Amino acid sequence: MVAPASGLRISEVPKQFLPIAGVPMVLRALRPFTSHPDVLEVVLVLPASQAAMPPAWLVELAGEQLRIVAGGAERMDSVEQGLRALGAECTLVLVHDAARPLVQRDTVDAVIGQARKGTGAIAAVPVSDTLKECGPEGSAPQIRRTIPRDGLWRAQTPQGFPRVMLERAYVAARKDHATGTDEAALVERLGEPIMLVPDSSWNIKVTTPEDLVLAGLIAAGERA
């Protein structure tokens, strides 16, 4: 699980530690994995400063199943650090964003099930909004064209892969000096099949204060 090195801050609290309905964001994100019977271990990748001095409640949770490691400058670096920290017995790897604290158990199950078939698998939802391509950003960007949304999906996490597949993708990306905004993009470069696992739109990524409010409302509704 990857937590960002920077992002939304309120009262100097890093985003991943902000409370959502009274529970720290990263703890909500961890629970579907640490409680899953098929998940052998979880590696939480934090910015170096936070990995060196994590909150006391997180220190208490760390142990044989949950380990905390320091990440790198970019997402690719952090995921690679997490991969290296996994035990040899882990043959499938799930990568999840700590900023997605509302992932459901059935999504985790579906991604694991597909990855066990030997392909990549990513949680995703169909694009429902009309998409517009615009010119250079400014006070009033001009629309260039409307992009058909048929067949377009929004990639989410978790993303799951046979471990050897993901490791090969990283070796190839480093060799070619390639980058990707998610793990699927790196695996796609190998020509390996990646399947979409339909997910819920409630599995939101918290990037703005408004997202934090929405996540709290969703979490409170789940408890009701």
Q: 86-138, pLDDT tens digit by residue?
A: 999 999 999 999 999 999 999 999 999 999 999 999 999 999 999 999 887 66
* Strongest mean pLDDT among 8-22, 36-50, 130-144: 36-50
Sign of CA dihedral 51, 57, 60, 63: negative
Count of positions (residues) in the chain:
224
Cβ neighbourhood burial of 179 (10 Å; 0-12, 13-18, 19+): exposed
How far apart are the C-alpha atoms of 143 and 224, rounded to whole Å? 43
What's phi and psi for 70, nearest 5 deg? -85, 140
Residue % of the chain over a pLDDT of 90: 82
How far apart are the C-alpha atoms of 78 and 97, rounded to whole Å? 11
198: Cα within 13 Å, side-chain hemisphere: 2
- pLDDT in the model for residue 10: 58
How far apart are the C-alpha atoms of 109 and 6, rounded to whole Å? 30
Residue % of the chain over a pLDDT of 70: 94
Contacts of 20 by beta carbon, 8 Å cutoff, 6+ apart: 28, 101, 206, 212, 215, 216, 219
Model pTM score = 0.92
- pLDDT in the model for residue 224: 47
Topology of 15-223 in CATH? Spore Coat Polysaccharide Biosynthesis Protein SpsA; Chain A (3.90.550)
pLDDT of 13 > 90? The answer is no
How far apart are the C-alpha atoms of 118 and 112, rounded to whole Å? 10
The ranges assigned to domains in the chain are 15-223
Per-residue pLDDT, averaged over 153-181, amounts to 96
